[in-house]
């Protein structure tokens, strides 16, 4: 055995090995490396969002008008409230996580268990809220007409609220009745088995035009943002001619192809970035559950340190950190 040990004469010197200049364990260092690279991934996505938004800076949807819903408060416009709640839940679960790490440093197993439990609950609430937010966004609320050029025409009328004349959105369903149509959805089972199409729109453009004609107070609002930072409302004549000349199809809600709130790119980035973040939260919850059970069966008690809790905690805080930026760039700015 002696022959395999080589003495280099550099032991204890700076380059002799065994140094820990960063005074951090291997596992924690690797978690930091991962976090840095993941932060760059997210910033790539958010910068791409900024790129698209700057390209269409005068046509981009206003987030306050898109995300106005709160569960159980149907029909009320409460921008920001629900997403603020989600942000608070995530920050709160970050706090319970850091408290779990702190309890781990003091080797208090029961405290770690309880704090990790609350962290997991917070994460679950957040993912659930995000699913609800997606569902609401996909479902849509007012409906709109998409033009041949891909622009969105929304509808509304001026109403006096508390002495101020403000533009109130009107759902297309409220003024339009669907006409008889012979066109049926082409499904794979009826025709060529490899050809199908998605569900047909409820209304044709003509239906919407007739509805608009018979309701003189309703006007069209375009995507263009004016000097006051509001979407432009057209005159009655322009409204009618826009729908008649340029209307292509009725759209409701948002998906990867159309978006009743404006540019489809907005929906694409929303689904991709919040989806990617939501996936991080979901995997964070799963990793948290694994560590949670490890704490319960006493793995770290026997190991005599709770560094694993600290490492998963780093990941969990990172997810929170990313949300802080997503919140700003999707909902605030």
| Interface residues toward another protein, by CB under 8 A | 21-24, 29, 32, 35-36, 39-40, 43-44, 47-48, 50-58, 64, 79-81, 84, 87-88, 91-92, 94-95, 97-99, 101-102, 104-107, 147-149, 151, 229, 246, 305-307, 310, 313-314, 317-318, 320-321, 324-325, 327-328, 331-333
For the bound state, the minimum distance from the C-beta of residue 75 to another protein, rounded and expressed in Å, comes to: 18
Q: How would you label 36-74 residue by residue, b for 16+ Cβ within 10 Å and e otherwise?
A: eebeeebeebbeebeeebeeeeebbbebebbbbbbeeee
Residue written as token pair 């698209």: 52
Rounded distance, CA 170 to CA 192, Å? 40
For the bound state, the minimum distance from the C-beta of residue 272 to another protein, rounded and expressed in Å, comes to: 16
- Give the residue with the Cβ less far from another protein, 161 or 192: 161
The secondary structure of residue 2, as a DSSP letter, is G
- Give the residue with the Cβ less far from another protein, 200 or 272: 272
**Backbone angles phi and psi of 112, in degrees to 5:** -60, -45
- Give the residue with the Cβ less far from another protein, 24 or 179: 24
For the bound state, the minimum distance from the C-beta of residue 180 to another protein, rounded and expressed in Å, comes to: 29
For the bound state, the minimum distance from the C-beta of residue 306 to another protein, rounded and expressed in Å, comes to: 7
CA distances from 206 to 149, 164, 214, 293, 324 (A): 18, 33, 12, 60, 44
Element spanning 54, H or E: helix 26-55
- Give the residue with the Cβ less far from another protein, 203 or 306: 306
Residue written as token pair 């809220």: 129
For the bound state, the minimum distance from the C-beta of residue 55 to another protein, rounded and expressed in Å, comes to: 5
Pairing, β 231-233 against β 219-225: antiparallel
- Give the residue with the Cβ less far from another protein, 21 or 216: 21
Coil, helix or strand for 263?
coil
């Amino acid at each position: 055995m002696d022959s395999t040990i080589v003495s280099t004469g550099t032991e204890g010197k700076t380059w002799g090995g065994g140094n820990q200049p960063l005074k951090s364990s291997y596992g924690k260092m690797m978690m930091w490396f991962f976090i840095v690279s993941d932060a760059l991934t997210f910033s790539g996505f958010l910068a791409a969002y900024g790129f698209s938004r700057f390209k269409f800076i005068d046509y981009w949807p206003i987030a306050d008008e898109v995300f106005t819903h709160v569960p159980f408060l149907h029909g009320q416009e409460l921008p920001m409230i629900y997403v603020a709640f989600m942000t608070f839940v995530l920050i709160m679960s970050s706090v319970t996580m850091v408290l779990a790490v702190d309890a781990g440093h003091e080797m208090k197993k029961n405290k770690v268990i309880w704090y990790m439990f609350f962290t997991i609950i917070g994460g679950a609430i957040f993912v659930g809220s995000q699913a609800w937010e997606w569902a609401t966004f996909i479902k849509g609320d007012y409906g709109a007409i998409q033009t041949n050029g891909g622009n969105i025409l929304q509808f509304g009328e001026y109403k006096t609220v508390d002495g101020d004349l403000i533009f109130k959105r009107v759902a297309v369903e409220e003024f339009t009745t669907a006409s008889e149509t012979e066109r049926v959805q082409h499904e794979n089972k009826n025709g060529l088995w490899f050809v199908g199409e998605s569900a047909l729109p409820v209304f044709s453009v003509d239906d919407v035009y007739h509805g608009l004609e018979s309701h003189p107070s309703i006007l069209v609002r375009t995507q263009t943002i004016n000097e006051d930072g509001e979407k432009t409302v057209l005159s009655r004549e322009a409204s009618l001619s826009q729908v008649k000349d340029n209307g292509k199809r009725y759209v409701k809600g948002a998906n990867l192809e159309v978006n009743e709130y404006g540019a489809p790119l907005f929906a694409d980035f929303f689904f991709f970035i919040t989806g990617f973040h939501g996936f991080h939260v979901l995997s964070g919850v799963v990793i948290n559950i694994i560590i949670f059970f490890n704490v319960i069966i006493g793995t770290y008690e026997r190991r005599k340190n709770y560094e694993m809790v600290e490492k998963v905690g780093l990941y969990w805080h990172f997810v929170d950190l990313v949300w802080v930026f997503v919140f700003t760039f999707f909902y605030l700015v």
